[in-house]
Every structure is written in C-alpha cells, then in structure tokens.
Structure 1
Amino acid sequence: MASNRRALVTGASAGIGEAFARELARRGFDVVLTARRTDRLEALAAELRERHAIEAIVAPLDLARTDAAEALVAALGDQGLHIDVLINNAGYGLTGYLDEQPWEAHAAFIQVMMAAPTELAWRLLPGMKARGYGRIVNVASLAGLVPGSAGHTLYGASKAYLIRFSQSLALEAAGTGVHVTALCPGFTYSEFHDVNGARPLVSKMPGYMWMDAATVAREGLDAVEAGKPVYVNGRMNRFIKWLFKVLPDGLALKMTERQGRRFRVRRERGGQG
C-alpha cells in the first residue's frame, strides 16, 4: 500500500483515466482527479473516499487552455500538495482531413495531446527527483507505433510523440527514482469512440481486439513500477506492433490505409470529434 503518496490523473472522468483512478486508490494512493466534467469527478471522488479511505481531490480543468498546467500545479502547491504519480491520460480524437477542420481545433488538440502532458511532466519532475520517487505514465496508443492513416491526421502523430518523449524522459530520469512509461493500448472499451462518432464503425472489430479499461490501467501501473519505458497492452497489439516493424514501409503504409478506410469518419469543416 502507498503511504502519503499522491497521484494526479488527467481525463479522470471516464474510460482509462477513471480506471487509473480506481486502481491507484485500490493501491492506497491519494488522488487528484482532473477533467472538464465536474459532476463525474465528484461522484468518482466520493466513491473512492468511501471505498478505499483515501483522499480524493477534484480539480476541474480544461487542458486545452494554454495556462491550464501551470494553474493546476500552482494550485496544488498553494495547498501544500505534492504529486508522486502523474497519469497523463486526457485526450480525444479529432476526425476528418487536416484541411477540413479550423486551425483553432487543431491548436486545441495539440495543446491537450502534446503540450499539456509535456508541461505537467516538466513542472512535476523536479519535485519527484528531489524526493527520490516518481512515476509518470503517458497514455499513448498502438496508433503511435504503426503508420499514419488518413482522416485522423494528428492522432497517431501525437501518440508517436508521447512514446518518443517517454523514452527520452525515462533515460534522463534513470537513477533518480523516477520511472517513465508510454502506455500503448489498442481498442479499449470506453466512451472515446462515442465522442468522436466512430462507434458504429469500430463496433465491427472482432471481440478479441478489445480490452477493458481496468486491465489497461492495471498493466500500465505494473509497467511503470517495473521501469518499462514503453508497454503495449495485449498480445494481439504486441503482434501488430511487431508485424508493422518488420514489414517494408510501403507495404505497411498500404495496409494501414486499407484498414483505415473501414473506420474513417468524415466531418464537415468546423466540426470536432
């Protein structure tokens, strides 16, 4: 059981983020839960307090704001709260071709998916190093390990960034007591595909391609505790990673494009998934 250790979970109101919050609380960590949906955060916090007798703090926040990470860390500091575990989970999908969305939508996506997790790690890492203990999990995706596909222009790119960022940060933190892991799940049961409108399409995937969020979170915490810089959830996903690594680039790209057509959601200009 953790003692006097606290975890910050972004995107904690549903899906993998909620599962991380539950698993951390089960392991005895106090938690700070952040997302945009205050009602869901408060309900989850109340449940975790009652079930696990831990401290659960709700910090509603929109990470699309460029000042969000700084404001959150400052607020925690003002309360004398340090963070030992950072779960960078907040994210969403932005469907459609690059020029079908206004730049403001892309800028917000880049802020949430890349800038915010990087800044949170940058702001919290010094304290972790000073205390000789820290865990950072950047929730990436199998999509960051396979060729890009049309219609989700920035999604795979943002996840590939998180993977490389995590590898570099893990090397930089070696010997300090801080572990960093890029977690790479594949299809996971959550609200993600409902939000971006892809549910009818991804529902065509066979059951063996799917994992539950609780398993993804549990394996993610085990992986970062073991000091693994990159962890891919599920045997099938690990096989897919291996396959695209050994295939010639041209063939791999064609296979990704062919598969991507099955799950492509097109949006009118100005829409957001």
Structure 2
Amino acid sequence: MTKARPLSLITGASAGIGAAFASALAARGHDLVLTARRTDRLEALAEELRGQHGVNATVLTCDLADPHAVEQLCTTLEERGLQVDWLINNAGYGVPGRFDQNDWPVHADFLRVLVTAPTELAWRLIRGMRELGYGRIVNVASLAGHVPGTAGHTLYAASKAYMIKFSQSLALENQELGVHACALCPGFTRSEFHDVTGTRSLVSKMPAFMWQNAEAVVQEGIDAVERGEAVHVTGWFNRTVKSLFKLMPDRLALRMSAKQSKRYRAQDSAG
C-alpha cells in the first residue's frame, strides 16, 4: 500500500530533470533523498522544497563513479531508517569525441554512473519495495536508446538501450507485486546537459518543436510509471522519430542517423 508520505531517492538531483523530479514529487507530498556531487546546489534545492511543500529533504552527496558509492549510500539510508518507495535513476552525462580518443578511466567512470550504479541501486532497493508491496523505479533513459548509435558520445546510446531493456525485464518481474519500473526516454530537453558536453552551440540550432522542458518530461514520467508502462518516450515528436526508425530497414536507419547526428554530436575526425 502507498504510504501517506512516500520517500523518493533521486540521483543527479542538483539540476535539470533530476531537480524537476524533486520539485514534482515534493509537490505530491513525497519526502526526498537528494543525491549528486554538488552539495551546495542540493542544499539550496532541499531548503527551497522544505519551505514550499513542508517535506523532509535529506541531502546525501555522492559520486556514483566511485565503485563503492551505491553500497555506502544504501548503508546510510538503512542507518537512518529511510525506506525508499520511489527510485529515480537520473544521474548521467555524455562523453563527447571519438571512442579511442578518451582514456579508459573516463569510459569506466561513465559506465559506472550510467549503467552499473543505477542497476545496483535498483537491486539494493527493490527488495524492500517487494516486501511492502509498493514501489516505483524510473530509469531515465533516452530516445537515443531507440535509434541507431552515432559517431561521437560512443557509449551514450548503448547505455540508454541497456536501461530500456533492463527496465522492461524489471517491470515484468515485479508487476504482480505492486512495484512498477519504467524507462523514461526523453529527446532534446532544456538542461545543463549540452553545456557539460560542449554541444550547446550545435543543439541551439535545432528547431523549437524538437525540445521539451524538464518539467514536461518529468510529468510524463510520473504518469507513465504510475500507469505501469515499462517504457515511455516523451513528446509527440520523439514518439514519431522512434516509430519512423523502427519501420526503416537497418541500413537506411543507420545512414540517416549518421547524417542527422552531425547536427548535434561532437565528433572527431576519423584519421
């Protein structure tokens, strides 16, 4: 059964989609555990949401690239008696450039943050959800996980495709127990993501209809996981893109993806 005040854990909560999830869930009366690397931003957000909605907001600074981070985070939750009802696996970023031009530790950190850490968090927290007969897991994936991979940001689409398949299996395993899992797949979203990856000047040229704000993405995600959807692509434009690529022959889809990706992906020369 749903608790009067569910507790939501949100990774990457300091900005963008993560901060929007925190605001939306606080407005629904959820207590929060906010985690990211930037303590100052988390504290400011927590203070704001406490004042606006009267919720409890706990800040636990965490770098998910640390192999021990998830275990330490969950130990802290247990020590404080915090039972997570909603898990929002949102933390993420992109690594621009050709695959071989980045050092392996850069890729290893990326895979821990976008693949290993969210998977481990789900593994550690879902048992409590199953015991209570209620839980929600939102894995923030991407439209990129549904279309062919592109040159540059080599691991990004692959990591998001993994999260989609993982969410589907997780949903099927737990749907009879009141625990819903959903891969949320936005496209272009107004956030700091493109500033961090150095592609702001490229994506700023994209038409306005291709973009969504973080609040709209989050509302679709909350509605989708509550309905029990295993995968949800946000926005009419992104759903259209997904459908078109699904209908295309693989060779044509890959060629089109390669052509379009040059408009918004940071790429290095092949030589």
The 5-angstrom pairing of residues 96-135 of structure 1 reads 96-135=97-136
- Residue in 1 that maps onto 2:24: 23
Question: How many angstroms apart in 2 are the aligned matches of 1:83 and 1:58?
Answer: 14
Query: C-alpha distance in 2, partners of 1:170/1:57?
Result: 28
Give the TM-score normalised by the residue count of structure 1. 0.97
Equivalence for 1:7: 8
User: Matched residues in 1 for 2:261 and 2:220: separation?
Assistant: 27
Structure 1, unaligned runs of 5 or more = 269-273
**Aligned length, in residue pairs:** 268
Distance 1:111 1:162 in 2: 13
Secondary structure at 1:175 match in 2: helix
Identity %: 60
Matches of 1:267 and 1:149, distance apart in 2 = 12
Question: What secondary structure, in the 3-state scheme, does the structure 2 residue paired with 1:174 have?
Answer: helix
CA contact (8 A) 1:2 1:29 kept: no
Aligned to 1:47: 48
Q: Which residue of 2 aligns with 1:239?
A: 240
Q: Distance in 2 between matches of 1:218 and 1:44?
A: 19
Corresponding residue number in structure 2 for 1:185: 186
Distance in 2, matches of 1:133 and 1:125, equals: 9
Contact kept in structure 1, 2:9 and 2:34, CA below 8 Å:
yes
Q: Considering only aligned residues, what root-mean-square deviation do their CA atoms show, in Å?
A: 1.2
1:210 lines up with 2:211 in the alignment: yes
SS in structure 1 of the partner of residue 177 of structure 2: coil
Matches of 1:55 and 1:264 in 2, distance apart?
40
Which residue pairs with 1:139 in the alignment?
140
Q: Distance in 2 between matches of 1:2 and 1:43?
A: 26
Once residues 9 and 143 of structure 1 are traced to their aligned partners in structure 2, the CA distance between those partners, rounded to angstroms, is 22
Task: State the secondary structure of the residue aligned to 1:80.
Answer: coil
Q: Counterpart of 1:214 in structure 2: which amino acid?
A: E
- Shift of residue 266 of structure 1? 3.9
Matched position secondary structure for 1:17? helix
Q: Is the 8 A contact 2:152 2:268 kept in 1?
A: no
Counterpart-to-counterpart distance in 2, 1:65 and 1:44: 24
Gaps of at least 5 residues in structure 2 are none
Separation (CA, whole Å) in 2 of partners of 1:53 and 1:202: 38
Paired residue type of 1:200: S
Which amino acid in the other structure matches residue 68 of structure 1? A
Name the CA distance, whole Å, in 2 between partners of 1:226 and 1:11: 24
2:258 is matched with 257
Distance in structure 1 (CA, Å) of the matches to 2:19 and 2:106: 25
1:33-182 correspondence runs (5 A): 33-182=34-183
Could you list the structure 1 runs, at least 4 aligned residues long, displaced by more than 4 angstroms after superposition: none
The DSSP-based 3-state class of the residue aligned with 1:9 is: strand
